[in-house]
Chains A and B, each alone.
Chain A
C-alpha cells in the first residue's frame, strides 16, 4: 500500500459518520478511505460513537402494530435478488468513485476548462459540487482562494503548492485561510478529485469568465 501522508480531519470523519456531510464531500471521504487504512480505522471509531449514542438515547415508543407490520414487510418482500454487486473493474479509481463515473479513468469524459486543465463534473446533491480534474504535468492550476471548504484528493501523479507535496492517496483540506497555487509535478499528469461547497474564486478576469462557462 502507498504511504499516505495527508489524511482526513476528525471533523470530516465525524460528519461523514454522522451522515451530515454533503454528498460531494462524502464521495471524496469514501474514496480516500478506500485507499487509507488509517482513516478507515478512525471511521470505525466514529461509527462506534454513533452506536453508543443511539444505545444511550431516550427511547421513543413504537406503535403497537409496528413489529407485526415489519414482519409483514419482511415476508412480502421479493427474495433478495440482485443483491450481488458487480465486482469492480480493477483500475485507478476505487469503487465509490467508479460508481459516480460509471467506469474507471479511461471512461472519464473530460472537458477542457482552460490552461490545459480538463474536468468532469460528477452528479451529486447540489449543496456542494465535486469534479475530477486533470492537470498536465508541470502546469499550474490558476491561482485561487477559497470561499468555503475544498477537499482535493490526488488519484494519480502529484501536485505541490507553497505548503507541501500531495501524492496519490493524499487529501488536502483547504478553507478560507488558504490561498495557494498548486502545480502538477513534472513527469506525469495529475488526476484529482476535488469537492467544494462554494465556487472557487479565481484572481483575474479571464479565469473568472472561464469559470462561468465551466461551472467551477
Chain B
C-alpha cells in the first residue's frame, strides 16, 4: 500500500516515474517539441495525482507526490534557514496539509508546484518567522465547479513557459531572484551579503521580471 515503486499501472504514473528519473539524473535540458510535450504531460500528471488524493485518498498517488516534492520542499526550507531536522518536520506538515486540502487545489489557477510552494511558504512564515500570514479574501464568486480541462492545460503550459524563462535568465539575475525567494533576505541584506550596491540589485531584479513578463507575453 505504501510502496512508491509500483503504485499503479496507470499511464500517468509511468510518465511521472520517467519524469522523476530524468529529474534525478539531472541531464542537461534538451530543447525540442517532444520534450516540451513530455513536460506538459508530467505537469498534468501531478494534477491527476492530487485528484486521486482528493477523491480516493490514494496513498500511492500521495507517495509519488511526496517522493518528488518532499525533497524539494525540504531544500526550500533549509535554504530559508531551517535546520535539516526542522525542515524535515515542516515538510511532513506541508504534506499533511496537501492531503487535507487537496479539494482546494484548482489547476486552472495554479500548477501543482505553485500550490505546494504556497503551502510551504505559509508554513515557513509560521515556523521560522513565528508570524501570522494575512491572506487575501477569496473572490466573491467563490470556487467554481470542476475547472475546464482546457483552462488547466493552458495554465500548466504558461507556468512551464515561465519555468523555462526563469532557467534562461542570465545567472546574475536568476541568482538574485532565487535569493529573494529562498534566502529570506531583504534587498539591503542581499546587498550586505553580496557586496553589490542596492541600486544594482534593484535594477537586476527589475530586468529579470521584465524578461519573465516578456516571455509570457
| Residues on A facing B (Cβ under 8 Å) | 10-11, 14-15, 17-20, 22-23, 26-27, 29-31, 33-34, 40, 43-45, 47-63, 66-71, 73-74, 77, 80, 83, 88, 94-96, 99-100, 124-125
Contact = CB atoms under 8 A, between A and B. Distances in A.
Contact of A58 (B73, B75, B162): B75
Interface string B175-217: 0011011101111000000000000001001100100100010
12 contacts: A11-B187, A23-B131, A29-B134, A43-B136, A50-B114, A51-B113, A51-B114, A56-B167, A57-B182, A70-B95, A77-B96, A80-B100
B143 interface: no
The binding surface of chain B is classed by DSSP as helix
Contact of B114 (A10, A48, A94): A48
A49 B162 contact: yes
Contacts of B158: 48
Contact of A18 (B91, B93, B180, B202): B180
Contacts of B93: 73
Nearest to B130: A125
A125 to B, nearest CB: 4
Contacts, number: 185
Interface stretch (B8-16, B30-38, B117-125, B144-152): B117-125
Given A56-B163, A62-B74, A124-B132, 11 more contacts: A10-B205, A11-B202, A14-B180, A26-B133, A27-B134, A30-B136, A45-B216, A48-B111, A52-B162, A59-B71, A60-B87
Given A10-B209, A23-B131, A55-B163, A48 B110 contact: yes
A125 B71 contact: no
Interface in B150-164: 158-159, 162-163
B92 interface: yes
Contacts of B131: 22-23, 26, 124-125
A196 to B, nearest CB: 15
A71 B71 contact: no
B180 A51 contact: no
Contacts of A83: 100
Interface in B34-64: 59, 62-63
Given A20-B186, A125-B130, A95 B121 contact: no
Contacts of A69: 92
B121 A18 contact: yes
Given A10-B206, A53-B177, A95 B117 contact: no
Contact of A60 (B74, B115, B163): B74
A96 B184 contact: no
B120 A54 contact: yes
Question: Among the interface residues B74, B93, B122, which one has the most CB atoms of the partner chain A within 10 A?
Answer: B74
B78 interface: yes
A27 B96 CA distance: 26
B91 A74 contact: no
Nearest to B123: A19
B99 interface: yes
